[in-house]
Structure formats: structure tokens, C-alpha cells
Structure 1
Amino acid sequence: MTVPRTRVHLHPVRLRLGLILAIAILAGSNLVSNRVLTGLAYVPWNLAVAALLIVVARRCGLSWADLGLQNRRLRKGLLVGAVAASLVVLIYTIGWALPATRSAFADQRAAGSVQTLLFAALIQIPLGTVLLEEIAFRGVLPALFGGERFWPTALASSALFGLWHVLPSFGVTAANAAMGATIGGIGLLAQTVLVVLAMTGAGMLLMVYRRWGGHLVSPMIAHVATNSLGVLIAWLVITHT
């Protein structure tokens, strides 16, 4: 991740206060999203939180380039994102084609009508999930951490990304029989730790895409491909078996 020279003039205290505020906003939003909001409120809430995080970052003196939103790198970002999405398609296609791994896609959370599927894949995931998570964990937080050193910054923001998934992970073994059979007997605490570690690793990969592409659009495309295509395959497995 290239850091503009103007970063050296940013006030470290302002960055630290901005970081604390951003983490507090995300913690509150995570609780609201997973324990309070229902249905259609999810997307506008997360869009508002994403906008608020950008305001915080800009008030701290961060540039659009710091956040991975500079126009001049958009083309390369799109290319890297397309390559990452192609890898997701390849892996998912192989997983779906093999009987031994197909059951891993049978997640009951994807059950529902075609309209529900399309809303989840085309609106809820891209606008309600991916946009906020990429702006937060691959854009705002790395910049507020002080992003001059890529790997420590990537690890810190990815660890928070892993913790972000603690509440959504509750009940996942009940919804996914294959996952339940694999880790369902190890206890809730161990399951949660595994989810956090797995999502920290996923966050690191998305940070690498951000670095390669030089733009947030790279991990956004990869993230949408992973989640939306995963929901589609889960729906197909559930409804056609």
C-alpha cells in the first residue's frame, strides 16, 4: 500500500483519536446490526456508518489516496479485483462440482425465494456488507493506524475484522450441517476463536488485494464475488438436492 508523502504532516494525536472513534463507531454498529436491526434497515444503516467513517477519516486529515479511493488507480484496481473474482469463481466451481465438498455450501441461511436470493446477492451483500467492511477495514482503519508499514497495519486491521465477525458467527454451525459436523463439537468458545482466525486471514488477503490494486475497488470486487456467489451456490445446493 503506497502512502502519500503528505502523511508525514498529519498530527499523530488526531489520528489516534480518530482511530479510537472509528473503532467505537464500528463496535456500536456491529451490535446494532446483529442484535437490533431487522430486514430492510440493514443496508441504509451500514451505508450511513460507512459515510460517517469517511467523514471521521477526512476530518483527521486523511486524503482520498490514503483511503484507497483515488481515481488514478481505479483502472488497476478493477483489473486486480477481476483477477481475484475469477479465482473465487474457479474455487467455488470446483467445490460445487465435487460431491465431497458440495455439502459445505448447504447453508440454510441462504434458503428462500428467488427474490430473496437476488436481494441478498445484488443489494444486501454489496451495499450493506461489503461497502462498509471494505471502507472500514481496508480503507479507514489502516490509514488511521498509520499505514507506513504495510504488514503490521494489515494485521491490526485484519484482527479487528476477525473480531467484527464474532456476533455473526453465533449459530453458524446450526445453519450449516457440514460445518456443524466439523467443528460443532468443540464448544462455542473454540468455534468463535476459529471464526476470528479465519476472518483475520481473509482480511489479510483482502489487504493484499488492496495493496496490489492500489484501490479499495480490488478487495470490494473480491469480497462481493466471495459472498454473493457463495449465497447463490448455497441456494442452488439447498433447492436442488
Structure 2
Amino acid sequence: MDARETPGEDRVTAEASPLPSWAWLPRFHAWIDVAVVVCVLIATNVIAHFTTVWASIATVPVSAAILVVLMRRRGMRWSELGLSPRHWKRGTLYSVAAVALVLTVVAIGIALPFTRQFFLSERYATLSGALVASMIIIPLQTVIPEELAFRGVLHGTLERVWGARGVFAAGSLLFGLWHVASSLGLTAGNAGLAAIFGSGVLGQVAGVTGAVIATAAAGFVFTWLRRRSGSILAPIALHWSLNGVGALAAALVWQISMG
């Protein structure tokens, strides 16, 4: 037999050999992980928005912690969750840049009369309330838990199944749908949005639709930051600056309009 034929024969043999009967199990387990995470997020959203006040405070943080522990027990690495210490430095650099960008945009929005009205949210009509919300409630109850759940756990599970495209598409869409319940009274409580869409049923539908689109787009950017930096620090920083700085900006605009 000619020795030069051996590599070709080896390739034919390798291609002809069947896969082990258990080769499908890892992918099946990955799909199960995605399904479990999505179901937990749906249940969390319903409990947080349609049950008791205490449930609305504690459900999202508790669920996020449970998901992290659960996926760690399922073998997910810290790097897959965006929590690896070796990415903290890069994540911090992206965090600073993201916050600086949001501060610049918000400052311009407050300065322009046309866009200033969109900051008039009744939820943050007082400076003290806005400070508490910005520094305590928003980061602990919303931003950090949501980023752990979406850019941490969901990101890791989706990437195992679909790769980057699945993370960007499915992750962003799910993050947008996550905000349906929280945006039901959006137009009624925002003077600028109510002036455009109205405060009736059609206005409410328009507000919810706009919120889903906007938050899905934000989720896309958060995911980009997560992949680019390798850490959830960057999306946490951008998420907080959009919500927390937005709350402080709303209180400032209320003070300006009342003065």
C-alpha cells in the first residue's frame, strides 16, 4: 500500500465513523438551560408587577441571584456570566466612557426646550425622591439584577445555543418584552409622551410599543458592551446612567419648570 494514501483513508474513516450516541446531550442540556432561564424571567416579571408591593421590591434581585447560582451549578464559567475578575479593568474603562456619553446627551437634552419636556416624569418630581431612586432603588432593585439576569445568565445560555447572533437577536427582544409590564402607565405619567401619544388606550399602546422598541435597542447596546468588554460592569454602568441619571435629570427639570 502506498503510504501517501494513508491520510486520505484516515479522513474517509473519520468521516464515516458515526457520532457517539450521547453527542446530542450537551446541546440538549443547553436548550434546557435557555428554557429554564426564560421561564424564570417570565414568572419573575409577572410576580414583580402584578402581585404585592413587597414582591415588586424583592422578586427581581432574588431571581437574579438564584439564576446565577443555578447556572454555576450547571457548569457555567464566571467568564460566560461576565463576572470574571480578569475582565474588570476593561469593563471599568468602557463603563467610564458609557457614563460620560450619557451625561453629555442628558445635559444637551435638558438644555434644549423641545427635549426638556420628555424628562418631566411625575415619578421623580422631587430631588430627594430622585436621589434615593438613583443611588439605591434603581441600582439594587433594577439595574444590577437585570444585568445579572440578561447580560449574565441569559447571555451565557443563549451563546451556548446560538452564538453571538442569537445573543444579540433573542437577548435584545426578550429584554424589550421584559419592559411591557413596567411601561403600562408610561404615557400617563410623562408630560412629554402624553402630549405626543395622548393618555388614553391608544396612547398607552403606543407608549408600551415605543418602550419595548427602545429597551430592545438598549439591550442590543448592552449586549455589545458585554461582548466587547467581556464584563457586565460596562452594561451595568450604561444601564444605571440611563435610569439613574435620567431620574436626577427629571428632578432637575421639575425644579426648573417650577422656578
User: Please, which of 118, 124, 133 is the counterpart of residue 120 of structure 1?
Assistant: 133
- Aligned 1:28-39 pairs, distance under 5 A: 28-38=43-53
User: Please, which of 248, 252, 259 is the counterpart of residue 232 of structure 1?
Assistant: 248
User: Please, which of 146, 157, 172 is the counterpart of residue 186 of structure 2?
Assistant: 172
Is the Cα contact below 8 Å between 2:222 and 2:235 reproduced in 1? yes
Measure, in 2, the Cα distance between the counterparts of 1:44 and 1:174. Answer: 26
Measure, in 1, the Cα distance between the counterparts of 2:52 and 2:220. Answer: 28
Residue 200 (1) aligns with residue 216 (2) = yes
Measure, in 1, the Cα distance between the counterparts of 2:227 and 2:24. Answer: 22
Measure, in 1, the Cα distance between the counterparts of 2:163 and 2:34. Answer: 17
Residue segments in structure 1 that go unaligned for 5+ positions in a row? 1-7
Is the Cα contact below 8 Å between 2:119 and 2:249 reproduced in 1? yes
Normalization by structure 1: what TM-score? 0.89
Structure 1 residue 194, shift from structure 2 partner:
2.3
Is the Cα contact below 8 Å between 1:50 and 1:135 reproduced in 2? yes
Is the Cα contact below 8 Å between 1:154 and 1:204 reproduced in 2? yes
Structure 1 residue 142, shift from structure 2 partner:
1.7
Residue 82 (1) aligns with residue 117 (2) = no
After superposition, give the CA deviation of every residue in 1:83-124 in whole Å (9 maximum; x if it has no partner): 01100000000001111111110011112461x322211111
89-98 or 52-61: which moved more?
Answer: 52-61
Structure 1 residue 42, shift from structure 2 partner:
4.2
Correspondence for 1:5? none
Is the Cα contact below 8 Å between 2:67 and 2:149 reproduced in 1? yes
Structure of greater Rg = 2
21-30 or 62-71: which moved more?
Answer: 21-30
- Aligned 1:21-170 pairs, distance under 5 A: 21-38=36-53, 42-112=56-126, 114=128, 116-147=129-160, 149-170=163-184
Measure, in 2, the Cα distance between the counterparts of 1:68 and 1:183. Answer: 38
Shift of the 86–122 alpha-carbon distance from structure 1 to 2, 3 Å rule, reads same
Structure 1 residue 10, shift from structure 2 partner:
8.5
Residue segments in structure 2 that go unaligned for 5+ positions in a row? 1-22
Correspondence for 2:236? 220
Identity of aligned residues (%): 35
Normalization by structure 2: what TM-score? 0.83
Give the match's secondary structure for 1:64: coil
Instruction: Give the AA of the match of 2:75.
Output: G
Structure 1 residue 13, shift from structure 2 partner:
1.9
Structure 1 residue 193, shift from structure 2 partner:
2.4
Is the Cα contact below 8 Å between 1:22 and 1:56 reproduced in 2? no
After superposition, give the CA deviation of every residue in 1:182-228 in whole Å (9 maximum; x if it has no partner): 22374443432222111111100111111221100010011111100
Structure 1 residue 125, shift from structure 2 partner:
0.6
Measure, in 1, the Cα distance between the counterparts of 2:212 and 2:150. Answer: 14
Measure, in 2, the Cα distance between the counterparts of 1:74 and 1:188. Answer: 40
Is the Cα contact below 8 Å between 1:43 and 1:127 reproduced in 2? no
Pairwise CA RMSD:
2.1
Instruction: Give the AA of the match of 2:109.
Output: G
Is the Cα contact below 8 Å between 2:91 and 2:233 reproduced in 1? yes
The higher relative CO (CA closer than 8 Å, separation ≥ 6) is in 1
